[in-house]
């Protein structure tokens, strides 16, 4: 019982950075921009966040620095793909590679450093409820912020006019342009916002989750977050679900290993990725679903006046 509660708690914590990054990428993609640079953005913001938290002594400073770093990298990426119409796939991959090298380079001094004492978090009253308390209510505040962000994004996309415009741009930039919307401006805004969210996720990894900086510490989570957007058929609520599912599988794998279950560890490490592929296959069986939710212009450049 108690172990299950701990597993749930670990799952929420592991899912949170995936959810936040996935949400950011979802906003990008809803506007029609595919950012394959997610892994690099997460790395750069992780090191930025760690440095800020280390020198400033505050986690929140770390998140702010992570968000700023993510937004800055995304702004460069956005300028390249939205204004200069460079190929989104190639540019994204370049950002990813750049990010891993650059973060390793500037992060050398931070390897092995420790952040201050980790504070324990608890929601008053609820934290003492048996089972539910340890499972759900002793988390870092960012875990709850992630849930709130998902709800806010869903509200934004489906209940506000600005969200409708964003979806419209992602579906048909030509039509949106013809109706007088500034497609490039909107796309850039979406990319930068998405970058800031990825930045928060990166900072969460290095400041709260691990919490330390090592080269390559993001360990493929950027790619998982990208897969999550497809997994979620570009709907915010399902991003959260997918992130927790994924976090859960990862945690279960560690848990089983700790229990000494006899299985090759490589197989266990594979499990989350296999799960993703299986779910993707299942989802792709419903073409209408994909058609209605997938931003039709995803990955395609837009030339106004052509």
Partner 1 sequence: MSAPRLELRHITKRYGDVVANDDVGLAVAPGEIHAILGENGAGKSTLMKVVYGAVAPDAGELLWDGAPAAIQSPHDARALGIAMVFQHFSLFDSLTVAENVWLGLSRTVSLREVVEGIRGKAAEYGLDLDPDRPVHVLSVGERQRVEIVRALLANPRLLILDEPTAVLTPQAAEKLFETLRKLAATGCSILYISHKLHEILALCHQCTVLRGGRVVASCDPTRESTASLSRMMIGAEPPRLERRPANVGPLALSARGLALPGHDRFGVALEDVSLDVHAGEIVGIAGVSGNGQQELLAALSGEDPRADAGAIQLFGQPIGRMGAAARRKRGLHFVPEERLGRGAVPSLSLANNMLLTRHEALRAFGWIDRAALRHQASGVLRRYWVKASGPAAAARSLSGGNLQKYIVGRELDAVPKVLVVAQPTWGVDVGAAAQIRAELVALRDAGCAVLVVSEELEELFALADRLHVIAKGRLSPSIGSAEASVEQIGEWMSGLWTGGPGQAAALAGGAR
Q: What is the DSSP letter of 108?
A: G
Which residues, 171 to 190, sit near partner 1 by CB under 8 A?
A: 171-172, 174-182
Q: Which is nearer to partner 1, 172 or 210 (CB)?
A: 172
Q: Which is nearer to partner 1, 133 or 301 (CB)?
A: 301
Q: How far is CA 268 from the centre of its chain?
A: 23
Q: Does 299 bind partner 1 (CB under 8 A)?
A: no
- In whole angstroms, the minimum distance from the beta carbon of 233 to partner 1 comes to 12
The closest of 17, 31, 84 to 219, measured between CA atoms, is 17
- In whole angstroms, the minimum distance from the beta carbon of 138 to partner 1 comes to 41
- In whole angstroms, the minimum distance from the beta carbon of 153 to partner 1 comes to 18
Candidates 60, 145, 293, 299; binder of partner 1 (CB under 8 A) is 293
Interface with partner 1: number of residues (CB under 8 A): 23
Q: Which is nearer to partner 1, 171 or 215 (CB)?
A: 171
State residue 119 phi and psi, 5-degree precision. -90, 145
- Scanning 86-94, 114-122, 158-166, 218-226 for contacts with partner 1 by CB under 8 A, the matching segment is 158-166
Q: Does 154 bind partner 1 (CB under 8 A)?
A: no
- In whole angstroms, the minimum distance from the beta carbon of 190 to partner 1 comes to 16
- In whole angstroms, the minimum distance from the beta carbon of 160 to partner 1 comes to 10
End-to-end Cα, the chain, rounded Å: 63
Q: Which is nearer to partner 1, 30 or 221 (CB)?
A: 30
Q: Does 125 bind partner 1 (CB under 8 A)?
A: no
Give the side-chain half-sphere CA count within 13 A for 158: 11
- In whole angstroms, the minimum distance from the beta carbon of 263 to partner 1 comes to 43
The set of residues, in sequence order, having a beta carbon less than 8 Å from that of 91 and lying 6+ positions away, is 37, 77, 80, 81
Cα–Cα distance between 255 and 102 in angstroms, integer?
Answer: 33
* DSSP labels, 173-235: HHHHHHTT--HHHHHHHHHHHHHHHHHHHHHHIIIIIS-S--TTTTTTHHHHHHHHHHHTTT-
- In whole angstroms, the minimum distance from the beta carbon of 174 to partner 1 comes to 7
- Scanning 59-67, 138-146, 162-170, 223-231 for contacts with partner 1 by CB under 8 A, the matching segment is 162-170
Q: How far is CA 211 from CA 24, 50, 217, in A?
A: 22, 8, 10
Token look-up 């993001």 returns: 218
Q: Does 155 bind partner 1 (CB under 8 A)?
A: no
Structure tokens at 240: 């959260």
Q: Does 87 bind partner 1 (CB under 8 A)?
A: no
Residues in the chain: 306
- In whole angstroms, the minimum distance from the beta carbon of 19 to partner 1 comes to 24
Which residues, 259 to 288, sit near partner 1 by CB under 8 A?
A: 288
Count H helices and E strands in the chain, helices first.
13, 0
List of residues contacting partner 1 (CB under 8 A): 161, 164-165, 167-168, 171-172, 174-182, 288, 291-293, 296, 304-305
């Amino acid at each position: 019982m108690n172990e299950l509660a701990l597993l749930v708690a670990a799952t929420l914590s592991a899912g949170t950075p995936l959810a936040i990054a996935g949400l950011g990428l979802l906003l990008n993609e809803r506007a029609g921009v595919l950012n394959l640079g997610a892994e690099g953005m997460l790395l750069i913001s992780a090191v930025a966040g760690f440095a800020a938290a280390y020198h400033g002594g505050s986690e929140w400073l770390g998140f702010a620095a992570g968000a700023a770093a993510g937004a800055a990298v995304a702004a460069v990426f956005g300028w390249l793909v939205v204004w200069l119409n460079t190929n989104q796939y190639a540019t994204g991959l370049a950002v990813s590679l750049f990010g891993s090298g650059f973060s390793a380079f500037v992060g050398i001094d931070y390897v092995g450093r420790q952040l201050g004492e980790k504070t324990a978090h608890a929601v008053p009253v609820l934290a003492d409820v048996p089972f539910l308390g340890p499972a759900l209510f002793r988390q870092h505040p960012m875990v709850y912020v992630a849930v709130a962000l998902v709800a806010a994004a869903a509200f934004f996309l489906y209940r506000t006019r600005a969200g409708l415009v964003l979806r419209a741009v992602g579906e048909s930039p030509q039509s949106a342009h013809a109706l007088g919307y500034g497609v490039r401006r909107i796309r850039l805004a979406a990319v930068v916002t998405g970058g800031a969210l990825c930045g928060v996720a990166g900072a969460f990894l290095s400041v709260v989750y691990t919490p330390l900086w090592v080269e390559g510490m993001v360990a493929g989570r950027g790619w998982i977050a990208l897969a999550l957007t497809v997994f979620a058929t570009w709907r915010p609520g399902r991003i959260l679900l997918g992130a927790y599912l994924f976090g859960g599988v990862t945690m279960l794998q560690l848990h089983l290993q700790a229990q000494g279950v006899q299985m090759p560890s490589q197989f266990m490490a594979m499990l989350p990725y296999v799960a993703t592929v299986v779910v993707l296959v299942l989802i792709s069986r419903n073409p209408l679903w994909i058609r209605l939710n997938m931003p039709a212009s995803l990955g395609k450049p837009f030339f106004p006046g052509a």
